[in-house]
Amino acid sequence: MIMKNVNLLSLLFIAVFSLGACAQDKSSRPSPLDNTMVTTSDGVTITIQYSKPSLKGRQFGVELAPYGEVWRTGANEATTFEIDKDVQVQGQPLPAGKYSLYTIPSEQNMVVIFNKNWEQWGTDYDESADALRVTSDPTVQHDQTEQFTITADQDGKISLLWGDDQTSFTVKAAN
């Protein structure tokens, strides 16, 4: 009986230790985890969590996030976009909630996709779960952004920055 308990305890210890050893330290990834959070002037709290890939000499739209293809808008797990109130994104309604954020870049514009499946790996995109798609026109920024970055300001302007590309869209509280 004592031997059985010792064996069971040993197995339990090994299982717990193995799970801890398998847990990934996300801060040491080549594309580190980051987030941005803002409460807009009209009272919407926006929280975005994403991983920051680097260009490393590669070109956005060619080797990274190829034009015309769905991109996970970051690296690793799906980028999440959470709002605490119903909003208008580029004038289109989006209910309060948490979404994954995908994009389809092109030379002319960027399609920004809010997808209902947010707890997933970034490449597991399912178009049938799209909650909203809006289009934004990219602009060329003067400074190069080596590591993909998402910013948000109190006016509800969300900007996606990488290389010399900047794409922004606006989030406003629904009336």
Q: Give the model confidence (pLDDT) of 44-90 as tens digits.
A: 999 999 999 999 888 877 788 888 999 999 999 999 999 999 999 99
Torsion angle (degrees, nearest 10) of CA 84, 87, 89, 93:
130
Q: What is the mean pLDDT of residues 6-28?
A: 49
9-23, 87-101, 112-126, 127-141: least confidently modelled range? 9-23
Question: Does residue 45 form part of some domain?
Answer: yes
| Reported confidence tier of residue 164, pLDDT bands at 50, 70, 90 | confident
Q: What is the pLDDT of residue 163?
A: 86
CA-atom Rg of the chain in angstroms: 20
Going from the C-alpha of 129 to that of each of 70, 73, 76, 118, 141, the distances in angstroms are 14, 17, 20, 10, 32
Q: Tell me whether residue 112 is in a domain.
A: yes
**Rounded-to-integer distance, Cα 154 and Cα 146, Å:** 25
Continuous segment of H or E residues that includes residue 159:
strand 157-173
Please report, for the chain, how many H helices and E strands are present, in that order: 1, 10
The answer to the question of residue 127 being in a domain is yes
**Domain coverage including residue 135:** 27-173
pTM of the predicted protein model: 0.82
Q: Tokens for 24, please give them.
A: 């990934």
Task: List b or e across 94-121, with b for residues whose CB sees 16 or more CB atoms inside 10 angstroms.
Answer: beeeebbbbbbbeeeebbbbbbeebebe
| 77 located within any domain | yes
List of residues 6+ apart from 126 with CB closer than 8 A: 115, 117
Q: Residue 10 domain-assigned? A: no
In a domain, 156, yes or no: yes
Domains identified in the chain, total number: 1
Dmax over CA atoms of the chain, in Å, equals: 73
5 lies in a domain?
no
Question: Across the strands, what pairs with 50?
Answer: 34
In a domain, 54, yes or no: yes
